[in-house]
Structure 1
Amino acid sequence: RCRQGQPEGSLCTASSQVPAPLLPLAGPRIRSGCAQADDWRSAKSVYEFHARDIDGRDVSLEKYRGYVCIITNVASK
């Protein structure tokens, strides 16, 4: 069983019960949601960013605060 309050439809590993809902998020698709969107270096945390999920919907990384998140660039040519 996964952590209470976990985003609907996310996956969970049996051994550590860590949700894995960010697997479909690709590095190049992450965009800044901070005040200075053109300067990502001004962000104070990863939660200031947004990304597109596998279905193309905008997702705020704030949604995953309190979870262990692994963000991986899976883009290829």
Structure 2
Amino acid sequence: MAKTVVQGMQAKIKHFEQTVQVLHTSIASMNQMLANHMDVIEAMGEDTVIQPDSPEVTSALGAIPNQEDVDHA
């Protein structure tokens, strides 16, 4: 019986080791994907020039009246 218990625990440990290996691979892939996305985002930011708000637009936005929110009350 003790031998069966030890063999069962060895099987569980092997399963956990395989799970850890799969998770490690998934995490490494996800980190690489995120690094690639960050590179794209940073490259897009370098090409984008944000113009300052014009005074006409700012004053026009300030003149828009608020409306009561009847849909989410």
TM-score by length of 2: 0.16
Look at both structures and tell me which one has the larger radius of gyration over its CA atoms: 2
From the two aligned structures, give the one with the greater strand fraction.
1
User: Quick one: higher RCO (CA 8 Å, sep 6+), 1 or 2?
Assistant: 1
